[in-house]
Amino acid sequence: MAKTVVIQDINATGATERNDGWWVEPLMVLGGLGLFIVYATWAAIQGEFYAMEKVEEIIIPAGANAAEFVRPYLSPICSPDLPRWFPELFSWYQWSPAFLILPFPGAFRATCYYYRKAYYRSFFTTPAACSVGGQPSPLSKLLGFTKKYTGETQFPMYFQNLHRFTFYIAALFMVILAYDAYQGFFGWEHIGYADGKNFHVGVGSLVILGNVVLLGLYTFSCHSWRHLLAGKLDCFSCSDFTSKRFDAWKRQSFLNEHHMLFAWVSLIWVGFTDLYIRLCAMGIWQDRILF
């Protein structure tokens, strides 16, 4: 017979009869998400070293002709670079393009079903885990989340219901980031290169491609995409079209099972991609052409 867990004092933070390490996951989430938020904020404030579109020498394979290249690397934190795309429209804008970009993928992640559970438990601690007592964290009190839990039916929590719409924006960003990855291979410009070609594979090209792949897995393993595919159908066998939608729904369900994994791996890789481009642009790291 399973043991019944009884919390001795529901108002005492951490009060429980659980003897497992229930506190490990919320603590790791607090550290991981907190670190990324601090880094992304710092990177946005910098307003520089987020792109490598400048001419400079790079390390090339042995036997290749020496050359100087314009490397088309752009950090995903600042993509699309709207002030550069539309200079006349943003002639008044003097800050980092990240401030124009981050609110949109940020809204997609903030309203994500997995991330809701993650930061509700780690940042708000009401409660920090199942069958664990808790009180509102300092952050909860600062934001006014001190009332009895009412789900996502009252301000400001009902904004979580916008997740399906933030998915559309995230899908649009995937197109833009895919273009950035294409540019990472085909957007090279060079001076004095003998073969006259503009296709090159650098380490940065692969880093940016990996970012697109991982973000794509996270974005399209989303519950909202699963619902769009066939989640609202009442009959899967009514027609060939609904049957095919059901097949797509089943295939996407495999990705959906690993949504948490994709959420974390893609978040880490976004940070690494920005860091790689930033350090190369600063001259601390050197990008290499592989072929």
Contacts of 2 (CB under 8 A, 6+ apart): none
- Measured between alpha carbons, how far is residue 233 from residues 13, 113, 227, 237, 249 in Å? 43, 21, 9, 10, 11
E-assigned strand segments in 34-192: 55-57, 68-70, 189-191
Integer Cα distance of 289 and 57 in angstroms: 11
Q: Do 1 and 104 touch, CB atoms closer than 8 A?
A: no
Q: Give the orientation angle of helix 24-46 with respect to helix 259-281, to 10 degrees.
A: 30
When pLDDT is averaged across residues 86-93 and rounded to a whole number, the result is 90
Q: pLDDT tens digits, residue range 18-49?
A: 788 888 888 999 999 999 999 999 999 988 88
Local structure of 24: helix, strand or coil: helix
Backbone φ, ψ for residue 143 (5° rounding) = -90, -5
pTM of the model: 0.82
Residue 189 pairs with which residues in a beta bridge?
70
Residue 59 pairs with which residues in a beta bridge?
288
Tokens 């974005």 correspond to 219
Q: How confident is the model at residue 162 (pLDDT cuts 50, 70, 90)?
A: confident
Q: pLDDT tens digits, residue range 210-250?
A: 999 999 999 999 999 988 888 787 787 788 888 888 888 88
Q: Do 27 and 122 touch, CB atoms closer than 8 A?
A: yes
Integer Cα distance of 172 and 163 in angstroms: 14
